[in-house]
Structure 1
């Protein structure tokens, strides 16, 4: 089973690029998109045809042109749950839960804190509220796959210039500690589990085009899995060379 996660930084613009030819070539069973910035009714019939063969669950933000996630499934899933029951976060279109026979998938676009401390606080509150939900699902006996743009680099190996970014949102101690609490709750960073010493990035700032050219990036996109699912993890690939967004796609392969 192949699952792809990609922050597309605007789905309508993304569909005008060659990126979807690459996606179709991978033949993924599940596609998780973040930051779609659009509602399905804003897409043309031709654009919707791109998703042929997939059942699509949409969770756009109420605010136009902002945030939003979509999950596309080619195989049978039991149900989709939009949001996670916290209104102040759900209006921003940040979570879709998809239940399969043997696990529940959470496609998540975590808030960014780069616009100021108020949003850092909002981001940390989101992390905490979602963690509470995850613990509840684990307690109910569910195995989870949590994927998306976490907007946090966990360790120094996960960004090119850690010393320069100690006070930058995305690498602040309190953000890293909050992500660490997800690991303490029984989730495992599947990429780092397989590749403990590999430095690879999934996001490069668009403000400086040379950042991607020189690989001055951050690893912000993850597949976290519940510990019982680790034995099913075949590989995790970060496709740094694939363009079309300021993020690149990440793929989890399950046995």
Structure 2
């Protein structure tokens, strides 16, 4: 089983740069997209529906052309879940879950706080609210893969400029401590870090200051899995080239 996670920074924009023509080469079973930046009727058109896949989307109802998540799947799901029960999060189009028996594949776009205090406080509120939900998923016995842009780096190896970003959203001590709770206390597994304990790869680069050319990046795109899937993690790859977005697609192969 192969799963791709990709923040497209506008799915139509990424498609115009060749993403959907490039995608078949990965032979993925699921492709989880974040930041579709469109309403569903704008995405459910032939040029954005790759052959062999069924598409599901959850767009933002609060602001058109904002946020939004999607999943391309080769299998028909048993159930589709488009929210977690809290309107401020759900209506921004941040959660899409497909269920196949006891397997859940999720595309999640976690809020960023980089635009200012109001959004950072919303991000903190989301962290507090969603933690018990993650606990419930662990307790359910389901095999869960949460793909997405989490907008938080975890360790020094996940960001080029560690020291200078300690006061910036995405690298704040409170945010990283929250990932400690998930990975160390709760037992959720960061697939990349499990497969590459010493890896220093990035999935996002600022569009300013030639950051990508200099590889001044952040690893904020994850596939986070339940402990039950840890033994099935086989390999992973990040694709910084070709450039379809300010993020790179992240592929994980599961046995």
Structure 2 distance, partners of 1:104, 1:174, is: 28
Conserved 8 A contact 1:110-1:127: no
**Structure 1 gap ranges (5+):** none
**1:45–1:99 Cα change, 3 Å:** closer
Counterparts of 1:170 and 1:108 in 2: how far apart (Å)?
Answer: 16
Match of residue 51 from structure 2: 52
Q: Is residue 152 of structure 2 the alignment partner of residue 152 of structure 1?
A: yes
Report whether the alignment pairs 1:219 with 2:219. yes
- CA–CA distance in 2 between the matches of 1:40 and 1:120? 27
1:18-167 matches, within 5 Å, as 18-43=18-43, 45-48=45-48, 50-62=49-61, 63-167=63-167
* 1:96-129 deviation per Cα after TM superposition (whole angstroms, max 9, x unaligned): 1111224212211000000112211111221222
Equivalent pairs, count? 253
Task: Answer whether contact 1:69 1:107 (CA < 8 A) is retained.
Answer: yes
Return the alpha-carbon distance in structure 1 between the equivalents of residues 128 and 108 of structure 2: 14
Unaligned runs of 5+ in 2: none
**Contact 1:38–1:65 (8 Å) recurs in 2:** yes
- Matches of 1:38 and 1:68, distance apart in 2: 7
TM-score, length of structure 1 as denominator length: 0.95
Q: CA deviation at 1:222?
A: 0.5
The residue number in structure 1 matching 2:236 is 236
Residue 191 (structure 1) aligns with: 192
Normalising by structure 2, report the TM-score. 0.95
- Mean Cα deviation higher: 235-244 or 147-156: 235-244
The answer (yes or no) to whether the contact 2:60–2:68 under 8 Å persists in 1 is: yes
CA shift digits 1:25-49 (9 cap, x unpaired): 111100000000001212473424x
User: Taking structure 1 as reference, are residues 88 and 193 closer, same or farther at Cα in structure 2, changes over 3 Å only?
Assistant: same
Shift, 1:200, TM fit = 0.4
Structure 1 residue 199: deviation in Å?
0.5
Q: Which aligned runs of 4 or more in structure 1 are off by greater than 3 angstroms?
A: 43-46
Mapped partners of 1:79, 1:4: distance in 2:
20
Question: 2: distance between equivalents of 1:139 and 1:19?
Answer: 37
Structure 2: distance between partners of 1:42 and 1:156: 39
Confirm or deny: 8 A CA contact 1:35 1:68 kept in the other structure.
yes
Q: Distance in 2 between matches of 1:179 and 1:72?
A: 27
**C-alpha RMSD over aligned residues:** 1.3
